[in-house]
Amino acid sequence: MRLMGKATLVTGAGHGIGRGIARRFGREGAEVLVTDLDLEAAERVAGEIRDAGGMGHAHRLDVRVPEQAAAAVEAAVSRFGRLDAAVNNAGRTSRMPFLEMTLEFWDELVRLNLTGVFVCAQAEARQMARQGFGRIVNVSSNSGIRGGRGRAAYGATKAGIINLTQSMAIELADHGILVNTLAPGPTRTERTTAATPGAAFENQMSLKRFGEPDEMGAAAAFLCSDDCTFTTGHVLSVDGGFTATGVMEG
């Protein structure tokens, strides 16, 4: 129960990793504002949190719109009285070969994956600065650390999140706000159809399996808890060893 009584907000929490984080926060004792562009999905996850004995509330949020981000933070403060921690998870994984990539595809991913994190983090940080404390976790990916085929746009957005986090950590430290990045590896979600991550991933992984959304939630819970007091600007890779791997042969 590391987050007992903490007021939290999770974006993109209606599905996948965001759902896992929101549910884990609920089990850790947090009050959770479950936000998603899909309000029905957000309401379903909030209901799952309540059914498990936690405190979950749904709110529709398009992370690309500053007014909606500010309204989501205001909704959290109105309901909880403050905002202790926020996880900016909303985004999309899309691939396209570099030579075929259109500007429209590039702009769409940048707007959602990177600008969306900036928009929400700024709204959250403004509230936390008024309080004099807070925790922000921005969700990147191992694709933001290492390159991959078809991932020029996606990887660039996730790499951008890492540098954005580092810059935020420097500027917000004086306000009592810690900012870190969670970098998931291959994770099993509702859309996963394969039994294993596949050879392209497994050949680079010490733990040859998918991560689970709850494992991402556990890592995010640490970064948002009172156990995390001297860690800021850090990238926590939860990826089965993928980004750490060099030569695998003995």
Any idea which residues carry the catalytic annotation? 154
Q: Provide the 8-state DSSP code for 85.
A: E
Q: Provide the 8-state DSSP code for 111.
A: I
Backbone angles phi, psi at 74, to 5 degrees: -65, -40
- The Cα 31–Cα 9 span in angstroms is 8
Query: Can you tell me whether residue 182 is helix, strand or coil?
Result: strand
- The Cα 63–Cα 41 span in angstroms is 16
**Tokens at 60, concatenated:** 């529709």
Look-up: residue for tokens 């991402």? Answer: 216
Look-up: residue for tokens 């810690």? Answer: 178
Tell me the C-alpha to C-alpha distance, in Å, between residue 52 and each of 23, 57, 202, 212: 9, 13, 34, 19
**Tokens at 96, concatenated:** 């396209």
